[in-house]
Structure 1
């Protein structure tokens, strides 16, 4: 007598393993189904600058970063921390002012943004590429110039 849990005839066969894997894999999201991007661009820019200044943890931004952007920010953050340590400078919250913010949508569900930020010592640009995944925006590319 077969055990009910191992009886293949009783298990539902609604799709192949590939269909199930695709169903649970990250799903692209259309721009119309995503929240407004402008506040995220501004807040993520300020967050990135705070991470590099050493007053915010990278993990606090992980939700909005893709894997490559997260790794790049961790690496850059570690280098900034080492440089501050070598100079004996304490981490200080930066006072930045956003000068301009430019957005373009090359295709549905993708936004590229460039934010120019003025700081006390210099003006910088932050370039980001956002893609819609699972109903939210994620920065898959991030560059601080």
Structure 2
């Protein structure tokens, strides 16, 4: 049987492992979303936070502001069919890792970080060894946010199934793989 927990604050503080709660004020002002007109924000009501989108910044769309020359996020209406691009990405990646196609063909489809990881030379043993054909089975695509697609696929080789997962983001009017996991 365990000992009863102390019920008073003085008894709790007297224990050998007492915890102190320290409230630290935030040094930044509260977040104000520029997309929400100020007249819609009521006093005392926090404005909704924008969805986190790593990578390039969206264009402002206002003629009085100059846009930088970097990559621009694209919405779903400006992008091709995510399912076709996902199947192509999974197939090309597995063929490149198996040595049947050059890795340089993946560069336009992937972010610099993903391409560097693929070029590092670490390949799944099941993908790099053997001559049995690689078969890409069902490819599933989910679009949780406008301009983002999450992909899962099943690849089969020599009677074994392996999982492939990727994240596609719309950049400059085309899908680009920003995360890839091959199991």
TM-score scaled by structure 2? Answer: 0.58
The unaligned stretches of length 5 or more in structure 1 are 1-13, 84-88
Cross-structure match for 1:64: 109
Q: How far apart are 1:96 and its partner, in Å?
A: 2.3
Bigger relative contact order, structure 1 or 2, given CA contacts below 8 A and separation 6+?
1
Task: Give me the whole-angstrom Cα distance separating, in 2, the residues matched to 1:40 and 1:136.
Answer: 9
The alignment covers a number of residue pairs equal to 118
Which has the higher mean CA deviation after the structures are superposed, 125-134 or 36-45?
A: 36-45
**Comparing both structures, which one devotes a greater share of its residues to strand?**
1
The unaligned stretches of length 5 or more in structure 2 are 1-62
Which has the higher mean CA deviation after the structures are superposed, 104-113 or 47-56?
A: 47-56
TM-score scaled by structure 1? Answer: 0.72
Greater C-alpha Rg? 2
Q: How far apart are 1:121 and its partner, in Å?
A: 4.7
Deviations 1:5-53 (A, max 9, x none): xxxxxxxxx988xx35x1x210000011101111111111111111111
What SS does the aligned partner of 1:139 have? strand
Runs of 4 or more, structure 1, over 2 Å off, are 96-99
Q: How far apart are 1:131 and its partner, in Å?
A: 0.3
Q: CA RMSD in A?
A: 2.4
1:79 aligns with 2:138: no
